[in-house]
Amino acid sequence: MANIILNPDWQLKESACTTQAAYKNRRIFLKSLGLGTMALATGGFRCSNNAHSASSGELDPDGPLDTIPDDAPRDGYPAARNPDFTVPERPVTDRLVSSSYNNFYEFINQGNLKRVWPHTGAFQAFPWTLEVRGQVERKQTWDLSDLIRSMDLEERIYRFRCVEAWSITVPWTGFPLSKLIERCKPLTRATHVQFTCINRPNQLPGQATAHWYPWPYFEGLRMDEAMNELAFVAVGMYGEPLPKQNGSPLRLVLPWKYGYKGPKAIVRIEFTRKQPKTFWNELQPQEYGFLSNVNPNVPHPRWSQASERFLSRENVEERIPTQIFNGYDRWVSDLYPDEPRTPAGPIIR
């Protein structure tokens, strides 16, 4: 994206960027110069004081890839592909599909729930801090950009399966969750890890309006699950930093579990001595369990999980059989001796 050098005489100072009107005037002015929203998306005069309304629509991005933050670190991109994690039997999903068919209730909770990206304009993913709390040698708070730059990034192509029975295949960029956990220095008595997501109703229109959800979003894993080789922290996809609707600036990817076990826009990691609560389980315990492993033998109480709609390109979808642990049996079967291997009735696990 082009960097536009502005004449300091008419560059708005941060302090002047306090009202929606000021922002609007600036946009109209830019439009008159033919700079439009591309210029608004560059760093120089983006308001960082969050004073504008998240639901104003004034900052609406132009398209699903217009939401990759300009200030996301790009060192190490595109990262080398890890040959151990490819999906030979399916094509990689078109990146426009993966970034325009999403679930992210902080941004939208009514209407077309999958069309998330147009509602992400006010959300600022950088700078970002990540807190480490609970059963650890000492509490830590990291600047995420520094953390990302200190990690070896790799690319992994994973199957992704939502509990709603749609699926995609995605090349993620990031690092193993185990590497992050090592840096957290958890005490041996920690049995679980809980992840807490962003809580900023002024930047998140869904969060601002959906009071029936127990915000912020939270998820959790057993320690042995979190340390599994497959558990991945994604900071990018398709060779670039994550778009906001896909979880910028960081999210978990646990390809053997249903998508909702992978929290997006994480702000805190907390090590605990008991099984943590999880967002969807709190809301609908009769439908969503703690483990939530992908399993074609265990139907959701309201639909079958035996097959899935594979989304490859816009308007192209194919019904394919769902595999146990989403095809990751050999990595995770030892963790779950009780996972049903033959068709069963609905069991919430």
Closer residue to Mo ion in complex, CB, 52/257: 257
User: Which partner from the list ligand MTE, Mo ion, none does 66 bind, CB cut-off 5 to 8 Å by kind?
Assistant: none
From the CB of 14, what's the least distance to ligand MTE, in Å? Answer: 28
Residues in Cβ contact with 136 at an 8 Å cutoff, skipping those fewer than 6 apart: 184, 185, 186, 187, 190, 271
CA distance 84 to 96: 25
Q: Which stretch binds Mo ion (CB under 5 A): 14-22, 161-169, 249-257, 281-289?
A: 161-169
Question: Does the N-terminal peptide bond of residue 301 adopt cis geometry, omega within 30 degrees of 0?
Answer: no
Fill in the amino acid letter for 60: D
From the CB of 203, what's the least distance to ligand MTE, in Å? Answer: 13
From the CB of 103, what's the least distance to ligand MTE, in Å? Answer: 4
From the CB of 181, what's the least distance to Mo ion, in Å? Answer: 24
Residue ranges of alpha helices (H) inside 6-73 are: 20-33, 36-41
User: Quick one: which of 162, 170, 198, 221 contacts Mo ion (CB under 5 A)?
Assistant: 162
Give 133's strand partners.
270
Helix (H) or strand (E) holding 177: helix 177-184
User: Quick one: which of 37, 50, 103, 209 contacts Mo ion (CB under 5 A)?
Assistant: 103
From the CB of 294, what's the least distance to ligand MTE, in Å? Answer: 12
Q: What is the DSSP string of 262-327?
A: S-BSEEEEEEESSPPP-HHHHH-TTT--SS-B--TTS-BTTB--SEEEEEEETTEEEEEEPPGGGG
Q: Which of residues 250-289 bind Mo ion (CB under 5 A)?
A: 259-260
Closer residue to ligand MTE in complex, CB, 26/244: 244
User: Which partner from the list ligand MTE, Mo ion, none does 281 bind, CB cut-off 5 to 8 Å by kind?
Assistant: none
From the CB of 187, what's the least distance to ligand MTE, in Å? Answer: 27
> Is 348 exposed, middle or buried, given 0-12, 13-18 or 19+ CB atoms closer than 10 A?
middle
Closer residue to ligand MTE in complex, CB, 238/260: 260
CA distance 144 to 266: 11
Q: Which of 185, 176, 198, 60 has its CA nearest to residue 128?
A: 198
User: Which partner from the list ligand MTE, Mo ion, none does 213 bind, CB cut-off 5 to 8 Å by kind?
Assistant: none
* 3-state SS class at 142: strand
Closer residue to ligand MTE in complex, CB, 64/134: 64
CA distance 48 to 66: 18
Closer residue to Mo ion in complex, CB, 132/266: 266
Which positions touch ligand MTE (CB under 6 A)?
A: 102-106, 162, 197, 217, 246-247, 259-260, 262-265
Confirm if 218 and 263 have CB atoms less than 8 A apart: yes
User: Which partner from the list Mo ion, ligand MTE, none does 106 bind, CB cut-off 5 to 8 Å by kind?
Assistant: ligand MTE
Closer residue to Mo ion in complex, CB, 103/199: 103
Closer residue to Mo ion in complex, CB, 200/257: 257
**Using CB under 5 A as the criterion, which residues of the chain lie in contact with Mo ion when the complex forms?**
103, 162, 259-260
